[in-house]
Structure 1
């Protein structure tokens, strides 16, 4: 992993280890602990000189604006999956990506991400075989192992990043701009209080949270990232808000023991990013409307994550829903006109027509997610967002028992690139002709008709298609369309197909002119058997992912089924999480 897949490095290290006999493991341990130093100073690795010369030259001559973004990557542990949006939002909060006359800070951050991807400094996660969108749209990435070792070996020279890990000792020399607390650090309060936090700009915690992690000397802190930390409580948030008034980025994502945001949240007047997705928060405080610089709000969770200490009528309403749930937002949310990402909002719990009027004011929205759409509020909601010309991504989850709420809905959605429709009954709203730019479609519905498949087939730029259907009329799902008994070229750009159906003995077939660019096929086998026909027609298929089963013998049998495929696509198992 430390070699980053670079052949020169692998060959050089293999050549060194091949000469070792008795001292092999000692050599391995020494190399592992001082990896980059050994490669740069040991004469036995002279074959890497050209590689290091290139890296020295690159880091010396690369644009100044991208250098901080590169060194910043060492914040994340080796092999750690990094969400693209998490990284870009942090860059913005740090001031590495700023608005200009030519482009927004978000677009500039996405361009930085794309450049690092092009240079192989960051890479797509190895378990994924396709990007389908463009490279800048991948969801998860990781830092190239070799590049990370190089960055880590120099980050203290820049006095930028320091970490608390298993080998930390008491010292007066620990100071810098970015502090990382690793999972395997012993949480020693004496060591922690010996650190100089006067220059600290970001704090990132992996693993268990301790209340002493917030210091009164962290006056300049801009980024507090506690994603997936454990042990965080509501009372800790009160202390955070009190001491960290300059915060621009606050992530509590995955902190399931958090139930409420404090009313004092409104004191964080510099806050740009608030991520409370997959916590147990079901409503945002009224004071949030004071945060006029907020650009990004992510909230909502799955039912299994909601374990409130005491039931209430509003919480019980959430429990009757399924899937991703929205949060209640306060009156006045329309004042946050800088918002470009908002979701998931429970429209029903937030006042129906009243929240529609608030959403109408948020004209800069690029990404919006809502739940609780029903027959009483659907027309008002869609009318409210009809003028949102910047909207690129939309998630709509219908309230239970309101599957017909999208009947007759037709909007100018021509700028949408991503659309999620969850909770439909037996027909899709009119899509063909309105969604010429749509790249991703995610549909969950009770039943799917042949005519719906034919309408999806004609979406010209669709790259990712995810279908979840409870039942099919004849247990058949055919991905092709005909005219005058001739098959048409359909699903021309689809590269990822993810299908799941509760029908037993599901039959899926692919036409000879359908999905010619499909690279990844994901199938949910958790609800029954599935027969596939026409797989050899999928000439670009690289991988089949079987979800919901952990039967290795089943995987082997399926692999045999693909034995005649010209690409010999890989077949992998992926067990579904309990919450799905």
Structure 2
């Protein structure tokens, strides 16, 4: 029995005596061709030479999905006029030949109501465009497609929507992280081609692929696949997503559009070429999502404070070094992404104005913020005075040494990444962390090796913490005593920690840990996982453990390990790991004169 829904398959498995569910994986290019040949040309599966090129093009558009390849192959088996049939699909994908049995529409029509706008939204992306889970989740929330249920957040509900689309076979998962979480996805080309017509029929979106005089005055969304600065954007547009390097900010394209600019909800302008954000952006009072990621923008206008409904501000990989004081009026902000890398590939965090965090009651994600300097609190109404008095001779703003106040107000925070921390500010940070009961991910990077990361001030760590990244020397060269309380921890990175005794003595009891990374963290000679330590660990990475000679584990330890990597460990000679993970052992061999034993 073949079905598209993983949920139904699992139900059938549990209700059947002999049932077993197999999750069909995406086929390789050769496997996809063989399956298509079998369906299109019968059991012999031989493709005529004259059709090979067209066959390859059709198979490529199926993106390796077995169900789609099977159905499309069956359609081509009914005719010998392949070229006409394929060309007909390119021109009219809803023609009778292709709409037979609702071939490509079936999955859409079978969706529950709440998933349909989410799926249509993904059809706005260019063909073969890979998209990140986090980006899609924030866009859906900004559009108002997501409804949180029970005690879940909007972000958790949106991720459930995304997982359901994957389970239904509507999306193809390209990459997941080491803990199994979806990260990168793609929409099958053939399915997306069919849905383009649906986008237009519903006035859901207009895809801009060429320079036009004007956009459709009924469509509510605009997806830009080609820069068209002379196009007049209709006042009906509520969302603009750009997939090209725009030369200038869209709301400056045409004056008719500016009359309705206050209705905009989404501006996703990644990878644009413009360097300035116009002051008029402050009039976009209904804007919920603003992304200028991967641009050369170096400053935000003070008028940014007019974006009262903004939920996501994405400034990642821009040249913005300071946030304007007006940002403290963005009371609905949920995601603040601010950092870039300099020429030496070192992270440069953004300076935050004093008093800002007191207004961010709904903030879910804050990454990355400077922990050693912040901007003074000033009156946003006195802009001229601010520009005159708060600038140094080199043009930068005056800064205050210390940790920006108000972190303890961010009680709903789920991810915090803070860099350049100094030891005198750690106690304040620890106090704030105890208030962050919903925190799932924490990253702390110290300013220098002289600044000790003393986490002993935390008495009650965030209960649901899943990811912990500690970069810097730890107090007394030991893990904090509360580490064993983190029952949900799945990923741990320790860097420059300075351990003299084996850190696994405390870590090997953490049976939920999936990923462990040790980078210049341990000066000892032996890493011992014990008889049955870290049984669920899947990924182990060790780097720059210059004195390490031995890695060993008992026969009941590391049973699920699938990736083990070491780098810059020149003295590592002896490895003793369980025989059940022999494939991992082969990859983990020392580079020189290995002595190896399998338990």
Superposition TM-score, scaled by structure 1 size: 0.75
1:344 aligns with 2:368: yes
Q: Distance in 2 between matches of 1:68 and 1:97?
A: 10
Q: Measure, in 1, the Cα distance between the counterparts of 2:146 and 2:156.
A: 9
Partner residue in 2 for 1:434: 485
Show CA shifts across 1:519-556 (max 9, x none).
2334445x86865724564539679999xxxxxxxx9x
SS class of match (2:420): strand
Aligned to 1:211: 248
Helix, strand or coil: the match of 2:484? coil
Show the 5 A alignment for 1:348-387: 348-350=372-374, 355-356=404-405, 358-387=406-435
Q: Is 1:232 matched with 2:282? A: no
Q: Please state how far the C-alpha of 1:336 moved relative to its aligned partner.
A: 1.6
**Counterpart residue number, 1:123:** 172
Query: 1:458 aligned to 2:509?
Result: yes
Alignment match of 2:340 (pick from 289, 293, 301): 301
- Please report how far the alpha carbon of residue 105 of structure 1 lies from its aligned counterpart in structure 2 after TM superposition: 1.9
Q: Distance in 2 between matches of 1:498 and 1:412?
A: 29
Counterpart of 1:141 in structure 2 is 185
Contact 1:201 1:222 in 2 (8 A): yes
What whole-Å deviation, never above 9, does each CA across 1:224-260 have from its counterpart, x for those lacking one? 1123x04230x2x1256156432101112222x2222
Q: Residue 409 and residue 32 in structure 1: after superposition, are their counterparts in 2 closer, same or farther (change >3 A)?
A: closer
Map of 1:394 onto structure 2: 442
The RMSD of aligned alpha carbons is 4.1
Instruction: State the 1:90 CA deviation.
Output: 0.5
Residues 1:271 and 2:321 aligned together: no
Number of the residue aligned with 2:266: 223
Shift of 1:454: 1.8
The question of whether the paired residues in 2 share the 8 Å contact of 1:278 and 1:305 is answered with no
The CA deviation at 1:352 is 6.6
Give the Cα–Cα distance (whole angstroms) in 1 for the partners of residues 541 and 135 of structure 2.
25
Alignment partner of 1:157 out of 195, 201, 206: 201
Cα 1:404/1:231, change in 2 over 3 Å: same
Q: How many residue pairs align between the two structures?
A: 510
CA distance in 1 between partners of 2:54 and 2:487 (Å)? 60
Rate the CA distance shift 1:453–1:202 in 2: closer, same or farther, 3 A. Answer: same
Alpha carbons 1:94, 1:223 under 8 Å: kept: yes
Of 506, 519, 523 in structure 2, the residue corresponding to residue 473 of structure 1 is 523
- Residues 62-100 of structure 1 deviation map (CA, whole Å, 9 limit, x = unaligned): 211111111111233344332221111100000001345
Q: Aligned partners of 1:65, 1:75: CA distance in 2, in Å?
A: 18
Select the structure of larger CA radius of gyration. Answer: 2
Q: How many Å apart are 1:121 and its aligned residue?
A: 2.6
Q: Is the 8 A contact 2:317 2:341 kept in 1?
A: yes
Separation (CA, whole Å) in 2 of partners of 1:532 and 1:65: 56
**Hey, what does 1:498 align to over in structure 2?**
541
- What secondary structure does 1:441 align onto? strand
Distance of 2:441 and 2:165 partners within structure 1: 25
Determine the C-alpha separation between the residues in 1 that align with 2:57 and 2:99: 26
Does structure 2 retain, via aligned residues, the 8 Å contact 1:520–1:543?
Answer: no
Determine if contact 1:501/1:524 at 8 Å carries over to the other structure.
Answer: yes
Aligned ranges for residues 241-320 of structure 1 at < 5 Å? Answer: 241-242=281-282, 244-255=284-295, 257-304=296-343
Q: Is the 8 A contact 2:266 2:287 kept in 1?
A: yes
Q: Which residue matches 2:388?
A: none
Determine helix, strand or coil for the equivalent of 1:120. Answer: coil
Q: Does 1:84 align with 2:149?
A: no
Q: Cα distance 1:102–1:169, how it changes in 2: closer, same or farther (>3 A)?
A: same
In 2, Cα distance between the equivalents of 1:345 and 1:445?
Answer: 20
- Whether the aligned pair in 2 keeps the contact of 1:260 and 1:281 (CA below 8 Å) is yes
Q: Which residue of 2 aligns with 1:21?
A: 49
Residue 31 of structure 1 deviates from its aligned partner by: 8.7
- 1:415 aligned residue (438, 452, 464): 464
Counterparts of 2:358 and 2:544, CA distance in 1? 39
Corresponding residue SS for 2:435: coil
Change in Cα spacing, 1:513 to 1:147, as seen in structure 2 (3 Å) is farther
Residue of structure 2 aligned with 1:70, choices 119, 126, 129: 119
Which 5+ residue runs of structure 1 have no aligned equivalent?
A: 307-321, 482-486, 547-554, 566-580
Alpha-carbon spacing, 1:238–1:528, altered in 2? closer, same or farther (3 Å): farther
The 1:50–1:210 alpha-carbon spacing in structure 2 relative to 1, beyond 3 Å, is closer
What's the CA shift for 1:60?
A: 1.8
Q: Are the aligned partners of 2:290 and 2:313 in contact in 1 as well (CA < 8 Å)? A: yes
Q: TM-score, normalised by structure 2?
A: 0.73
Does 2:383 match 1:333? no
1:572 alignment counterpart: none
